[in-house]
Amino acid sequence: MSMMTYEQKEKQPGKSLAEAVKANPHLAKYLANLRSKGISQPTYYVQLSRDMKYMKNVNILYPVGDPIFIHVYERAKSDRLYYQVIEPTVPKEFEELLKEVDKALAVLIGDEEVGESESEKERTLLSKLNFLVIIDQSLPTWSYKVLKKSGIPTKIRMNEETFSALKYQLILHKVKLGLLEPFIRDPYIEDISCDGIGPIFIEHKIFGSCETSVVFESEDQLDEYIISLSERAMRPVTYRRPIVDGTLPDGSRINIVFGSDISMRGSNFTIRKFADIPISITQLIKWRTIDATASAYLWLMLESGLSVWFCGETASGKTTLLRATCVFIRPEAKIISIEDTPEIIVPHNNWVREVTKQGEDVESSIELFDLLKASLRQRPNYIIVGEIRGKEAYVAFQAMQVGAPVVTTFHAGSVQKLIQRLTGAPIEIPKSYIDILNCAVIQSAVRLPSTGTLERRVLSVNEIVGYDSVEDRFDFIELFSWDPISDTFVFRGEGSSHLLENKIAVMRGIPRRRVREIYVELENRATFLEKLIEKGVLDYFDVWRAVKVAWKTGVEKALNMILRGDEIWKY
């Protein structure tokens, strides 16, 4: 798709570039400087589209919330696109003003006034700043006059532009995440990676891997920032505990490695961003990550209380698909989620959310293994484990054996690798237990032959049938498979599913002679999801409301309601 096609597209509602430039002098200055560097004027978009990944000669500008803008463009002789953060900058002299303001705020703000939430902290900070600062337009920008009493600033005079920059810098560093704030605000970023001194790299949902303009200049700057970041994640790093996993205030998952003792390039961190509202299953179908029939199959599995594991390599989309399919668990179910860092979101009311705890020693730490054991006493209808990696797999299989189905993610690129890891050290699940796991979804990030772009696809949906002890062989059925040539999903068809015919049909009281009915139900559910997509129902909670209606009335009746024009996703 050419740039001209994008330029002809109708812009999304919002500020025009002219309005953005008028309200943000730093943006006007940046755009003016581009010409002197020989970089052409970028095309301005209020909202990006996934189709933009097919653009040639990328050169775009978009806002992530005033006063921050992002410029993504191609640089000569570079494989990666460049991600330029555009924000108000201040001169070196400004640091002296910040020190004076810090001293005054330390006196003005008492501990009892500091709220818990970001909005409360920001409100308190702005209130004290408005009390402290006197606007004096006769003063030039970046100059100021301080009135002091006993060495403490009581009032500070400055002009409006200086005051605006002051507010931005203070909120950025004292309330927000400082130099990482643009990345946190940007909804199109998946991963943020700092490898040590030098630039930060990001993984963009549309443009892939990008080098950014945000740079750590020294080890001291990086270490100081990482200590602050770990404290914000409530998992302070020390030289005794240099590796921590935590969650940032916005819900993003962070892994920190502190110091040069265990990292040759010094301190580093990786942040994985998760949206507050999960991506819906209809959106994933529209993106062709999975198709409607395979999704309808997972709907039947999860509604019927069977165990489904989402498997794949790192960044293959396992957690995204897990979160999307949680709407298929029956609405009145009691769900317990267990995670190292909270990523799972379910729409159900009866949901217990448990998170591991890192203590100073083994005795004070609470691991996944401990939470999973405890969950068995809480009589859940479903247990969702963020990720199974080790000995907790044994407890998960015990849970499934006593009738508590488990949904989780697991690192394995195929069913063979999944079984190999489960039955081998250190997990060592007995081979005869493997068929307690009903379904394994294998997912991967793949490069499409037709476009050359990297996309996430469900490679296969597999039913685990059992273990043949005589031949020492595991039997499974690859019910759905992805065809890379056509980028479509192939269903083996009626009569091919062991679980639909021998488990779900039995649960529904369907006799063997009428087994075709369960495949008709599968078709109805696939059509139901397709009709939601046709109606533009892509919001996670809208899909949840529609699925609840289908649960209450029956899928066929709910489908007929949609066909006659009822907006059941608004019920």
> Phi, psi at residue 473, to the nearest 5°?
-135, 145
Q: Which helix (H) or strand (E) holds 214?
A: strand 208-216
> How confident is the model over 239-285, as pLDDT tens digits?
888 998 888 888 888 999 999 888 888 899 999 998 778 999 999 99
Residue in this structure with the two tokens 């006063």, named with its chain if needed = 67
Instruction: For residue 426, say if its preceding peptide bond is cis, omega within 30 degrees of 0.
Output: yes
Q: Which domains does the chain have, with CATH numbers?
A: 1-177 (no CATH), 186-273 (3.30.450.370), 281-497 (3.40.50.300)
Q: Please, what is the average pLDDT of the chain?
A: 91
Predicted local confidence at residue 12, as pLDDT: 41
Dig out the tokens for 410 from the structure: 């697991």
Instruction: Kindly indicate the confidence band of residue 543, based on its pLDDT and cuts at 50, 70 and 90.
Output: very high
Asked if 133 and 166 count as a contact pair (C-beta separation under 8 A), the reply is yes
Residue 304: partners with Cβ closer than 8 Å, 6 or more residues away: 503, 504, 507
Q: Quick check: helix, strand or coil at residue 201?
A: strand
Interatomic CA distance for residues 126 and 171, integer angstroms: 8
- Provide the token pair at 91: 């001169």
Side chain identity at residue 163, one-letter code? F
Farthest-apart Cα atoms in the chain, separation: 93
pLDDT category at 306 given cuts 50, 70, 90 is: very high
At 403 the three-state DSSP class reads coil
pLDDT given for residue 13 in this prediction: 46
Identify whether the C-beta of residue 302 lies closer than 8 Å to the C-beta of residue 547. Answer: no
Q: pLDDT tens across 451-473, in order? A: 888 899 999 999 999 999 899 99
pLDDT band with cut points at 50, 70 and 90 for residue 343: confident
Least confident range of 36-40, 521-525, 554-558: 36-40
For the chain, state the CA radius of gyration: 27
Name the helix (H) or strand (E) containing 466: strand 454-468
Q: What angle do CA 94, 95, 98 make, to 5 degrees?
A: 90
Residue 465: partners with Cβ closer than 8 Å, 6 or more residues away: 435, 475, 476, 477, 498
- Tens digit of pLDDT for each residue in 107-153? 888 655 666 678 888 888 999 999 999 999 999 988 999 999 888 89
The 8-class DSSP code of residue 137 comes to T
Residues of the chain with pLDDT > 90: what percent?
A: 70
Q: Using the predicted structure, report yes or no on whether residue 563 has a pLDDT greater than 70.
A: yes
**β-sheet bridge partners, residue 155:** 147
Query: What is the per-residue pLDDT across 389-432, written as a single tens digit (0 to 9) for each?
Result: 888 898 899 999 989 999 999 999 999 999 999 999 889 999 99
Q: How far is CA 51 from the centre of its chain?
A: 20
**Strand-pair category, 189-194 with 268-272:** antiparallel
Q: Which two tokens mark 196?
A: 């040590």
Q: What is the mean pLDDT of residues 306-324?
A: 95
- Residue from 537, 531, 522 nearest 571 by CA: 537
Q: For the residues 337-349, what does the mean pLDDT come to?
A: 91
Closest by alpha carbon to 156, among 98, 93, 107, 92?
98
Q: Is the pLDDT of residue 519 over 50?
A: yes
Look at residue 310 and tell me whether its pLDDT is greater than 90: yes
CA dist 429 to 308, 422, 499, Å? 17, 6, 22
Asked if residue 491 has pLDDT above 70, the reply is yes
Phi, psi of 332 (to 5 degrees): -90, 5
pLDDT recorded at residue 4? 32
**Spatial distance between the Cα atoms of 341 and 126, rounded to a whole number of angstroms:** 32
Tokens (6 digits) for 237: 């790093």
Q: pLDDT category, 156, cuts 50, 70, 90?
A: very high
Residue 49: phi, psi to the nearest 5? -120, 150
- Identify the band that residue 14 occupies on the pLDDT scale cut at 50, 70 and 90: low
**7 band by pLDDT with thresholds 50, 70 and 90:** very low
Q: How many CB atoms lie within 10 A of CB 182?
A: 24
Q: Which pLDDT band holds residue 196 (cuts at 50, 70, 90)?
A: very high
State yes or no: pLDDT of 349 exceeds 60. Answer: yes
Cβ atoms within 10 Å of 91's Cβ, excluding its own = 9
For the segment 529-548, the average pLDDT, to the nearest whole number, is 98
The Cα–Cα gap between 69 and 358 comes to 37
Q: For residue 494, is pLDDT > 70?
A: yes
Q: What is residue 309's predicted lDDT score, i.e. its pLDDT? A: 98
Check if the beta carbon of residue 174 is closer than 8 Å to that of residue 189.
no
What's this model's pTM, rounded to 2 decimal places?
0.84
Q: What is the C-alpha to C-alpha distance for residues 336 and 346, in angstroms, rounded to an integer?
A: 10
Q: Where are the alpha helices (DSSP H) in 24-93?
A: 25-36
Q: How far apart are CA 267 and CA 45, in angstroms?
A: 36
Residues in the chain: 571
> Alpha helices, DSSP H only, in 461-515?
498-499, 505-507
pLDDT band with cut points at 50, 70 and 90 for residue 347: very high
CB-based burial label for 423 (10 Å; 0-12, 13-18, 19+): middle
Pairwise CA distance, residues 426 & 428, whole Å: 6
Kind plus residue range of the DSSP H or E element containing 354: strand 351-355
Residue 10 pLDDT greater than 60, yes or no: no
- pLDDT band at residue 360 using 50, 70 and 90 as cut-offs: low
Range ranked top by mean pLDDT from 25-34, 320-329, 357-366 = 320-329
